[in-house]
Structure 1
Amino acid sequence: MKKPTDNLFADSIVYSLDTAKQTEYDNLLQESVLLLQLSGEMTFETSCDRITATSGDIYLVKKHQFIKTTKTPKNNEYYKALMFILKEDILREYALEKQLETIVRYHGQSNILMPESAYLKGFFDSLIPYTQNAKDLDHPLSVLKVKEAIELLLLLKPDLRYFLFDFSEPHKVDLEKFMQTNFKFNVPIDNFAKLTGRSLAGFKRDFNKIFGMPPRHWLQNKRLTEAHFQITKQNKKPSSIYLELGFESFSHFSYVFKKQFGYSPRDIRQNIS
């Protein structure tokens, strides 16, 4: 069977092909992306959305979000997708060329399903030949393709300029509310700090004031409490939830669970059965 591939065109355009279900947990989107689902499905979960992109769907996904993704082949076809990484330097260059205003902070929807468009379809179709030979699309050409994508997005929805050209850093947010919403994402502490608009030192200081304990301690307790609830009240299998709740391995999850509650996750399942 052909191995899955992720071809990166000059750090701007990614072509993904997978023959089996692939799950990628807990990433921080550093740049906004434009996704075309060619075949199969991609399910992506952020703190505010859980979305399944099916064949033909085009999504615009905002930067500065935690994200979990699952790629699934369907109907005896490979999983295939094209993804544009809308890098800030290219967006700034485009805005400068077009003399666009770039100081307005965006407050709208973070994940946008684009309407059907012959322009976008034709544009993506023009890229298919390059998926067979990534080296044919060199850096200058890939930058032009990204700018063409930006041009088409603005042609279809002019208000997307606020989405695309918001270059501000995350502002300071309600830390308690943010952590209660995002505790399931297994990312470095400095990523939590970044998305709450704080330095790492400021994040740890504010966190201790609010929760009375260090972030790592609180995160583990919160994840374990949620795991206990899902196993006992929602009858979920421990093996199906440990990754979704931010634990790196089942063995580690079982160990800290038993240490916290005095019995293992499997003991609960056996008692329920």
Structure 2
Amino acid sequence: MVEIEKVRSINYSGVFMSCFAQHDTKSVEAIPNHSINYVCTGEQIIESGNERIMVGAGEAVFVRRNHRTKIYKHGKDGETYKGISLILDRNVLRNFYKTMDKSNIPKDIEMSDDNVMKIGRRADTRSLFESLTPYFDDNLKPTEAVAHLKSLEGIYALLNTSDIFYQILFDFADPWKIDLLEFLEDNYMDDLTMEDIARYTGRSLATFKRDFKKISSLSPQKWLIKRRLEAAFLLLQEPGKKVQEVYLEVGFKNPSHFSKAFKALYGYAPTEIKRDEV
């Protein structure tokens, strides 16, 4: 087995640098603030709903706040993946908006439904992120004032990219709650904690637990296990599917835990289904 190199990730006041080995690295993200992701080397693929957005070296992408994405990062052409994310804090955006000359805001802009927007290659965006790389390469922590200035530079870069960002960045309404059952059906195979699910669906942990009781008599943990077992049962009906493949595919980490839970639900071990196969 090839050993995967350790992930290197640094956070300086809302500016994140991530560096990964050649191997694919997957993360599930849904942060409460807007962000701009820039790829220095390698490649990033973002899954947003049914859409897959590829971001190559020198390109940037805007990700809307409270929107859940799956992000795959990997090296390319012999280079490791290196990317920087700039988080746009809501308080910074509020203060920016307060000082704006409102007469300069474009009129009649329709709110976009897009949650992920590829910015592509722009000189102002490239200049912003290239100015941040020395802080990570030399392990020199920027001051709070410098980090704040970089956030402002990021805001200006977005506003110069498209007028639609006036509507998006300065919309300070509270995030809406995502339908719990729909979210869980789409993501039950992922390795998510209860805190993750609460945050990704726009809830506090207490509100998530209270809302979940309205849709199931089971606890969230038991619901997830049952749903994974149901998916495993269907997969095991497929010719050629092996038990050791299925338990990982549906989100279990331990084969003995999977086998024990499967037998408790269905009355027989998962290997019983495959016994008649040659």
- TM-score interval for Structure 1 and Structure 2 normalised by the shorter chain: 0.7 to 0.9
Does residue 167 (structure 1) correspond to residue 175 (structure 2)? The answer is no
- TM-superposed CA distance for 1:60, in Å, is 0.9
Cα distance in 1, alignment partners of residues 15 and 147 from structure 2: 7
Instruction: Go from structure 1 to structure 2 and tell me whether the alpha carbon gap of 1:198 and 1:258 turns closer, same or farther (over 3 Å shift).
Output: same
Cα distance in 2, alignment partners of residues 251 and 46 from structure 1: 34
Partner of 1:57: 59
Identity, in percent, stands at 28
Partner of 1:18: 20
- TM-superposed CA distance for 1:122, in Å, is 2.7
Q: Which of 35, 42, 61 is residue 44 of structure 2 equivalent to? A: 42
Does residue 214 (structure 1) correspond to residue 216 (structure 2)? The answer is no
- TM-superposed CA distance for 1:245, in Å, is 4.2
CA RMSD of aligned residues (A): 3.5
Listed one character per residue, the Cα deviations across residues 100-123 of structure 1 (whole Å, up to 9, x for unaligned) are 69xxxx661111111432222233
Partner of 1:228: 233
Partner of 2:269: 263
- TM-superposed CA distance for 1:198, in Å, is 5.0
Q: Which of 76, 80, 83 is residue 82 of structure 2 equivalent to? A: 80
Q: Figure out how many residues of one structure are paired with residues of the other and give that number.
A: 269
Q: TM-score, normalised by structure 2?
A: 0.77
- TM-superposed CA distance for 1:37, in Å, is 1.2
SS of 1:221 mapped into structure 2: helix
- TM-superposed CA distance for 1:254, in Å, is 4.6
Q: Tell me if the contact between 2:31 and 2:67 (Cα under 8 Å) persists in the aligned partners.
A: yes
Is there any run of 5+ residues in structure 2 with no aligned partner, and where? 106-110
Instruction: Go from structure 1 to structure 2 and tell me whether the alpha carbon gap of 1:257 and 1:126 turns closer, same or farther (over 3 Å shift).
Output: same
Partner of 1:89: 91
Q: What amino acid is the match of 1:83?
A: S
Partner of 2:108: none
Is there any run of 5+ residues in structure 1 with no aligned partner, and where? none
- TM-superposed CA distance for 1:75, in Å, is 1.5
Q: Tell me if the contact between 2:32 and 2:66 (Cα under 8 Å) persists in the aligned partners.
A: yes
Cα distance in 2, alignment partners of residues 269 and 26 from structure 1: 33
Cα distance in 2, alignment partners of residues 243 and 186 from structure 1: 11
Partner of 1:124: 129
Q: Tell me if the contact between 1:64 and 1:170 (Cα under 8 Å) persists in the aligned partners.
A: yes
Q: TM-score, normalised by structure 1?
A: 0.78
Cα distance in 2, alignment partners of residues 251 and 166 from structure 1: 49
Larger relative contact order (Cα-Cα within 8 Å, sequence gap ≥ 6):
1
Q: Which of 144, 151, 154 is residue 149 of structure 2 equivalent to? A: 144
Q: What amino acid is the match of 1:81?
A: G
- TM-superposed CA distance for 1:87, in Å, is 2.1
